[in-house]
Amino acid sequence: MAKIISNFFISVDGVVESPDKWHFPYWNDEMGAVVEEGMRSAAAMLMGRRLYDEWAAYWTTTQDDQDVARAFNDMRKYVVSNTMEKADWNNTTVVNGDVAARLRDLKKRTDGDIQMSGSATTVRWLLANGLLDELNLLVHPIAVGRGQRLFEDTPTHPLKLVKSETFQTGVLNLTYVPDAG
């Protein structure tokens, strides 16, 4: 049975929006190894509609990072959306209707991890519906000040820290799982 694992680049003040504007000065081999490990364990990717639109436009046309583009373009992808009828990006399935039931079934039928990178709204929904198995945060030592935060206007969700390490750049690599009590 698969686990749904969410991964975020996040600032110390909780911002996850537009990490391309503040994240790269902290990139190093340690972080690269963590990201690569997540990609290797991924049997599929799960994303929300906005991230799907951004990534489909970018990864199908970029001339940069061809190895990563090939991996994303070939990988099975699932997009959570009740407004999309079909997805044009190779190997993409739209998950709609009773999304919770469909994702529970997907977890049962999938060997390997179902990885997420971004999609804060979807992650909040998954957590609220008991579908998120792991939350990985790469906490960057920068206060961005504005932008979408991972947890905005959400109910309380207890989490349990199961792994932590500090990179040479000061980035914290934190892994949480839902804590039922």
Rounded to an integer, the average pLDDT of 82-104 is 93
pTM recorded for the entire structure: 0.92
* Structural domain that includes position 57: 4-178
pLDDT at 45 over 90: yes
Q: What is the CATH number of the domain that holds 172?
A: 3.40.430.10
Q: Closest Cα to residue 46, out of 6, 18, 83? A: 6
pLDDT at 181 over 80: no
Beta pairing class for 76-80 and 42-48: parallel
Task: Name the domain count of the chain.
Answer: 1
